[in-house]
Chain A
Amino acid sequence: NAGVMQNPRHLVRRRGQEARLRCSPMKGHSHVYWYRQLPEEGLKFMVYLQKENIIDESGMPKERFSAEFPKEGPSILRIQQVVRGDSAAYFCASSPPTSGGASYNEQFFGPGTRLTVL
């Protein structure tokens, strides 16, 4: 069973460009989480998604950031008009659902995408 996959592993963008980060959860997992690790800081929660639904986006910046998890295909974290402060490692995690649709199970993390904004 392949783990959580993220691509690209490294992404370089110039200020003002768009960044698209992709995450494929583990097989059988329908819950996806995005976290951001800024330089010299801890990991911070950004957003929690289930298939076609955003469940909790309390950690997402109000502007320029969006996330989706379509019925088919990977989850996408999209950053529009990137600025230097967006440079960070972005981690995706996934977990399986429990009965009733909620998920309190262990989260498994991908290798991350390291975004550098020039």
Chain B
Amino acid sequence: KQEVTQIPAALSVPEGENLVLNCSFTDSAIYNLQWFRQDPGKGLTSLLLIQSSQREQTSGRLNASLDKSSGRSTLYIAASQPGDSATYLCAVKRLTGGGNKLTFGTGTQLKVEL
């Protein structure tokens, strides 16, 4: 059974700092991994999707890496801003036998302070 863990559970940083969020998964037989952002009381916004054959994806100030063999992904946020404050979720899709469902981590709650 796939289990996804995110560390830290909560993080508070001053504006402008670079930061790294971590995601680990127990079953390396994944098809892809997605990073999402969730604002309080809102839905999920997809940030980056990494296919299992890829090592990283970049979008603006965000960079996500994937090390499938070790079961780890990181989300790097450069020059953080107060508007980045949200909960960040990672989710993996199993390669076979698990349908198309996403297994989510419990999230990292990020607060960027002025």
Contact = CB atoms under 8 A, between A and B. Distances in A.
B61 interface: no
A24 to B, nearest CB: 14
B44 A91 contact: yes
A31 B28 CA distance: 25
| B interface, over-half SS | strand
Interface of B: 31-32, 34, 36, 41-46, 49, 89, 91, 93, 99-107
Interface of A: 31, 33, 35, 41-45, 48, 55-56, 58-59, 91, 93, 95, 102-104, 106-112, 114
A44 B45 CA distance: 17
- By CB atoms of chain B within 10 A, which of A35, A43, A93 has the most? A43
B100 A33 contact: yes
A112 B43 contact: yes
